Structure 1
Amino acid sequence: MSTAQPAVPRMKAVVMERHGGPGVLRYTDVARPVPGPCEVLVRVRAAGVNPVDVKTRAGEGVAALLGPPPYVLGWDVSGVVEETGFGVTGLRSGEEVYGMPRFPGPAGAYAQYVTAPSRHFARKPASLTHTRAAGLPLAGLTTWQTLVDLAELRAGQRVLVHAAGGGVGHLAVQLAKSRGAYVIGTCGPVKAGFVQSLGADETVDYTAVRFEDVVRDMDLVVDLVGDKEHQRRSLRTLRPGGLLVAVPSGVDEDVVREAEERGLRTAAVLVEPDRAGLDALTDLVESGRLRVEIDVALPLAEAAKAHELVETGRTRGKVVLTVD
């Protein structure tokens, strides 16, 4: 009688073998995950690449939460439900979904398949390809949770978005405009026309002027740069009671104290999975009020090159990996 065990299904994935430069990312075979109770197995069609991926690869970002490598990086996913675990009620096999599963824990999006709680996914906007949809979850939810959940942005308020041509920035400009805000975006001269096409009322070329010299009376500043001095300069653009939200790295303690002395507010955002937020983003996409700009789409095997592009800080919109 044979005692051979059934073969474990395999898949292609990009494994981060150790912390370091883009060269630590290796395209290889790994075991395919199995969905547990209340989880779905999703066949990945595209995976977004975000600055947090790059920082985590280097040992920063959320690396401390993931434990020692090796592991598979990535959070942004667009794909098709392949299998549902026990107890899943909201999704069915064959449905197209997108999401940002498990963040800031390990999701393993740079792979042919991922598993995650079903409610970390939502149905993909029908008007978006998987490539465009994969660029939306992390950046889009960061934007939604910053502008809507935290800042409670209202029509008529004034918003300054730093790095307005980037992955989060280009979505923040559009979302703020969809809520009736007056939006000013900082960017370099190459991206000025792009940011204006998103609906920005004004753009400020940070290479030509100091933004705090020309921007005043803002209700909200969305800082996507993260530098302490940049945050301090941003305080000078706020009106009394205004809010500075720092997304990449939190607000420096000295900046918090200075803000309090000036009668200003500060806050930090760490994005979390949120089906309701994804559904809200889908509504904006389907109504034509939100578009996802993809700068470059590369095959999964070229994840290292994708990281190199994101590290430049010059990409317009998002970088995405396509998965066969």
Structure 2
Amino acid sequence: MPWPTRTPTLGGLMSPLGPADPITSLLDRSRFQAADVMCRVDPKRSPFDLTSPVSGAPATGLKHIEVTQKELLLLVGRKEVKDAKQQAIFDAIINAASAALWFNKISTDPLQLCHFLGQCCHETGGFTALKEDTFYTEKNVRAAHKNLTEDQIARYSSCTAAEVREKIAELDKKIAKATIAKADTTEMQKAKEALQAKLKGLAAENRKAQEAYFNFKYGPTGPALGNTLPGDGWKFIGRGFIHLTGRENYEKFAKWMKEQSPGADTPPVVEQPDLLDTDATVGLRAGLFFWLTKKCDVKATKDDSEAVSKIVNRYDAKTFPKRAALTKKAKEIWGEKKPT
């Protein structure tokens, strides 16, 4: 059954993280009963969303560092929200900071919050996307893999309509020259027809190329990503506020959520991995899972941006200065704010 299913009630001291959640002791029974009523009002609400189903106001009395949309726009350097995707991501952050128990550790510590939002801002392209870029051109594929055959490169490469039209135009010139020279143009004509057919079905062709490329790139690759089944590479591409990649990481994330919420419904992220992209709240929770299980919080507490960056993406050192700059900018916004 597609997520969301009916949410569990929160009465009787059951938080979204379950009775083992250490934050539970901070809240009295009446607060959970209030949240329970809100979940009953709308059975399709996420179990991680404790805001009012009517007003959007916090449903709990948790102390938190307020995060506003104006502040998030300041961090990403925009005057207004780009699109519905960015709005959904902003809403997930704002609601989690003010009401979600599972975000409370970060939303009460200004240093943690600044490092987390700085890193996530970079990972998501300014809070605009929750999955990795899957559009690999021929140039990208060649640069990433030096030992591929020409057939593999062609099979794995995506292209724009403009690029296809440019190739057709080049073939037209060659065909014209060959015709003047009375040379055989049969193969060039076939190549042109193939490109014209590709142009008509370009979206499907690119999707096919992307699936082929990521199934090649990510698996099955053994224990590193845990992709053991055909199609796992494409199915478990990087998604979330901090990308989770590979079946094994999605399974660990699913297990972690169940451990945090014993007996409660949790998003079926292994069966529906797109949830980390399409549901910003699930994507945010995936980012928190990475942050805590990979010990980013330990490095953030020491205010060590480079150490945090190495954990998040050790393979891309050239992005470390940008990540540090975003973290510094976040400190200018939230660094002096106190939980209220």
TM-score in terms of structure 2 length: 0.25
Name whichever structure is richer in helix by fraction: 2
Name the structure, 1 or 2, with higher relative contact order (CA <8 Å, separation 6+).
2
TM-score in terms of structure 1 length: 0.26
Name whichever structure is richer in strand by fraction: 1
